[in-house]
Structure 1
Amino acid sequence: MTIPKHSKLFDYAKGAYFSDSFSREIPNNNQTALDVYLEIAKQTPAWVSFLMAMRNRIVSMFGLKHLGRLQDAGSEKNMASIKVGERIGIFTLQSNSDTEIVLEDSDRHLDVRVSFLLDVEGDKVRVHATTVVHVHNFFGKVYMFFVAPIHKLIVPSSLKTLAQAY
């Protein structure tokens, strides 16, 4: 799927090494984009947690940072007081509105931005989950070689779990 033109990541995706966007319709419960991200993190399937733990173990052998667990998002502090620049689980908050949250993680190998964009359609909300990656070097490309195919399984699965949670 293409990145929605009204997403903050639309222009950021130009020249990206990797990008994808998936969407899913969920009931409209007046949730914010932050609420959606926290629910996805909370509902992380065990197989995704296992893959994340393996990722952390493997990359730490090469001196890369241990990101932690996706489901840790929101457990550290009161989310009502979260500010741009603060960590939410494995990501740093880059921007936050009721309809779109942008999270990021950067290192010397790559820059990753993730967006959860909500399009309200009456009693339904279409959630767009978009990921954009800019790589800086060969190691970033090697990393994405392994991560990209798995990512294309994780995001749709997470959106399906989100729909079931609402």
Structure 2
Amino acid sequence: MSNENKSTKARKIIDLIFLGIISIVVGVGIAQMSDSGAASKLEGGPAPVFALEAMDGQRMGAKDFAGKVVILDFWATWCPPCIKQMPALQNIKNDEELKEDVKILSINTDDPTPERTELVESFMAKHALSLDVLYDDGVVSNLYGVERIPTLVVIDPNGLVSYGGSGVLSEGKLRKLIREAKGQ
């Protein structure tokens, strides 16, 4: 076999390997963009009950806001898509028409280190956010089947999960989910 034939075969093998790697990367990317996940399996069922410590030291959970639509936002300070999601949640929190009907619980999933409280408080100040932050050590994330962040869970006024999924949602989509959870 000539060097030219060996070179052509080697190039074909390299091309096939490269295409295989590209296929895997694209497949993983599409899977991560997908709205499905374990959290979506909760839809239609009762929201798991929990209580977590908030930034102010109080313990609270979704059950404390029965009769309201509750949005759980699972996030971390190091997560760019989580940061992208925050302004829409802040706008909904600031909406005077929704204040009586909607409660947003921003569930931080950063590692529970001694520095986490300071890290989260600094993050919230830097991004001018006033969301109610709860600190999760992984227990609540597991209860809600959080596999990726951000994950958003919408709980209707009756305590049933009406939406659960990962990825960044637009403010318009969030408002639509709120209306649906309210039965409108």
| TM-score, length-scaled by structure 2 | 0.28
More strand by share: 1
| TM-score, length-scaled by structure 1 | 0.30
